[in-house]
């Protein structure tokens, strides 16, 4: 595919260049890519760069006078006056058989029209594509250029890296572009802004045509990219253009796009004064992913809060457990302290009682000792009398033993040897 691709309706006409022809002593024609009312676009091989192909666009009509040369050079000059990655770039130019040719990059990918034939875009995909296009359009307008033919067929989605999903949207075909001061009516009927349609329809006192006509066409392309299920019906070109001059397209009707209704009513307003500039339009496209971004932030917050909450709960649980154990330990310690204090108090009472008893016994002993010292003479007399009594009893015992022996059949009996009785001397008692 190529940046210069346009409608294939004219490709049935005979090509201006034959396969193998060399243009500008450098570009060898490989095949015809497409054709339009004013030009044809070819794939050509750059003979000065190995394995490099370009898109070569050549005017259909030869420039036979200065006015024709100026007209042919208009698109070339407009392309050369703007530099932006999403605006097709001029690489080389020249003349071939009085026809102006110029070389542009040969992009690989597809047009937006081809992409939308497979279904509408997601909000995120649409934002990535249309933010770049709105920025490119703002660059065109800053250079004083109006594109005048923005539509899905003139937007190319270039695949810069076959292995990457990222695409570069490029505004192509500036064949109808004009300087902002020029009043040249051009464009595709279904993408005409109301003020442009009003001039085609001959409506009296129409609004002035300016850069916001391009913003209208880009916003209408965005509407179609988001909702391909409700295209505007075209029963006839004149009737359609007349209606467009009076009635602006409506906002998307799909339920999931209703939050964009107010934006599209402004972007597609019948009055250009209500519409945003291209740069404002680019900034406002953030609304496309606002719901998704809020949902993503909520999910991210939830993913962050869940482990954090669990960690906090675990921390509090651990802290509570530690404090509970500490309190329990303190209660046990307090109980043991009370028991120990009670035991110490009991021991103190017992020691005090024992002390008092010992004091009492001491007083008794002292009293008895004092009393014993006063009766010491009496004790000595008692001991003497006890010794005398013991001696007497010993004698009685001996006599009794002798008598018993005699009574045993007259046998001689030796004098018994009674066990001596210990005596206590009075001196020992003393």
CA–CA separation, 184 and 199 (whole Å): 11
What local confidence, expressed as pLDDT, does residue 9 receive?
41
Region at 411 (left for phi over 0; alpha for psi -120 to 50; beta for the rest): beta
What local confidence, expressed as pLDDT, does residue 333 receive?
78
- Residue 93 contacts residue 58 (beta carbons within 8 Å): no
Q: What is the pLDDT along the chain (430 residues), one digit of tens a residue?
A: 334 333 334 445 688 999 999 999 999 999 998 887 788 999 999 999 999 999 999 998 888 888 888 877 887 888 888 889 999 888 999 999 999 999 999 988 999 999 999 999 999 999 999 999 999 999 999 988 888 889 999 999 998 777 767 789 999 887 777 776 566 667 788 999 999 999 888 888 888 889 999 999 999 999 999 998 766 766 788 888 999 999 989 888 888 898 999 999 999 999 999 999 999 999 999 999 988 766 666 676 667 666 777 777 777 778 878 888 888 888 877 787 777 777 777 766 776 676 677 667 667 766 766 666 546 667 677 778 777 777 777 777 777 767 676 666 555 555 555 544 444 444 444 4
**CA distances to 121, 269, 322, 330, 368 from 315, in Å:** 47, 58, 10, 22, 77
What local confidence, expressed as pLDDT, does residue 129 receive?
95
What local confidence, expressed as pLDDT, does residue 231 receive?
67
Question: Helix or strand or coil: residue 157?
Answer: strand
Strand order in the sheet with 109-111: 109-111, 155-158, 168-171
- Residue 401 contacts residue 360 (beta carbons within 8 Å): no
**CB-CB neighbours of 337 under 10 Å:** 11
Give buried/exposed letters for 313-322 (b at 16+ CB in 10 A, else e).
eeeeeeeeee
State which H helix or E strand residue 31 sits in: strand 27-35
What local confidence, expressed as pLDDT, does residue 376 receive?
64
CA–CA separation, 373 and 389 (whole Å): 25
- Residue 249 contacts residue 268 (beta carbons within 8 Å): yes
**Closest listed residue to residue 72, CA positions, set 63, 81, 64:** 63
- Residue 18 contacts residue 32 (beta carbons within 8 Å): no
CA–CA separation, 160 and 169 (whole Å): 10
**Closest listed residue to residue 4, CA positions, set 134, 69, 84, 101:** 101
Indicate the angle between helix axes 123-142 and 290-374, nearest 10 degrees. Answer: 120
User: What residue spans define the domains of the chain?
Assistant: 376-429
What local confidence, expressed as pLDDT, does residue 4 receive?
36
Residue 182 CA, distance from chain mean position: 50
State which H helix or E strand residue 23 sits in: strand 22-23
CA–CA separation, 111 and 7 (whole Å): 11
What local confidence, expressed as pLDDT, does residue 148 receive?
85
Read off the pTM. Answer: 0.65
The token pair that represents 69 in the structure block = 């040369």
CA–CA separation, 264 and 262 (whole Å): 6
Strand order in the sheet with 39-46: 22-23, 27-35, 39-46, 53-59, 99-105, 92-96
- Residue 390 contacts residue 421 (beta carbons within 8 Å): yes
């Amino acid at each position: 595919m190529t940046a210069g691709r346009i409608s294939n309706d004219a490709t049935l006409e005979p090509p201006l260049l034959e396969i193998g022809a060399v243009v500008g002593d450098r570009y060898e024609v490989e095949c015809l890519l497409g054709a339009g009312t004013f030009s044809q676009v070819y794939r050509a091989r750059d003979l000065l760069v190995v394995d490099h192909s370009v898109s070569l666009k050549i005017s259909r009509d030869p420039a036979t006078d200065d006015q024709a040369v100026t007209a042919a050079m208009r698109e070339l000059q407009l392309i050369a006056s703007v530099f932006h990655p999403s605006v097709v770039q001029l690489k080389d130019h020249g003349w071939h058989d009085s026809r102006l040719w110029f070389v542009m990059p040969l992009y690989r990918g597809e047009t937006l029209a081809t992409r939308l034939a497979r279904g509408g875009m997601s909000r995120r995909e649409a934002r990535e594509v249309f933010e770049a296009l709105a920025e490119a359009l703002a660059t065109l307008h800053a250079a004083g250029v109006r594109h005048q033919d923005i539509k899905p067929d003139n937007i190319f989605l270039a695949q810069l890296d076959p292995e990457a999903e990222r695409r570069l949207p490029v505004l192509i075909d500036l064949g109808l572009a004009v300087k902002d001061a020029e009043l040249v009516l051009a464009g595709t009927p279904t993408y005409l802004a109301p003020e442009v349609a009003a001039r085609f329809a001959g409506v009296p006192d129409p609004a002035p045509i300016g850069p916001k006509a391009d913003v209208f066409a880009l916003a209408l392309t965005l509407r179609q990219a988001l909702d391909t299920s409700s295209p505007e019906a075209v029963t006839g070109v004149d009737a359609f253009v007349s209606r467009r001059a009076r009635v602006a397209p409506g906002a998307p009707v799909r339920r999931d796009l209703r939050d964009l209704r107010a934006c599209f009513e402004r972007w597609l307003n019948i009055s250009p004064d209500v519409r945003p500039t291209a740069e404002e339009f680019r900034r406002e496209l953030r609304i496309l992913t606002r719901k998704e971004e809020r949902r993503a932030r909520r999910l991210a917050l939830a993913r962050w809060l869940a482990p954090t909450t669990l960690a906090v709960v675990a921390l509090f649980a651990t802290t509570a457990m530690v404090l509970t154990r500490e309190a329990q330990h303190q209660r046990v310690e307090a109980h043991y302290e009370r028991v120990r204090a009670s035991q110490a108090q009991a021991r103190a009472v017992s020691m005090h009682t024992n002390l008092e008893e010992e004091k009492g016994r001491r007083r008794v002993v002292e009293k008895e000792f004092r009393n014993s010292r006063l009766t010491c003479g009496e004790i000595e007399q008692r001991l003497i009398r006890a010794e005398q009594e013991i001696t007497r009893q010993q004698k009685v015992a001996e006599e009794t033993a002798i008598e018993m022996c005699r009574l045993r059949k007259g046998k001689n009996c030796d004098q018994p040897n009674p066990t001596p009785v210990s005596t206590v001397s009075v001196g020992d008692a003393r």
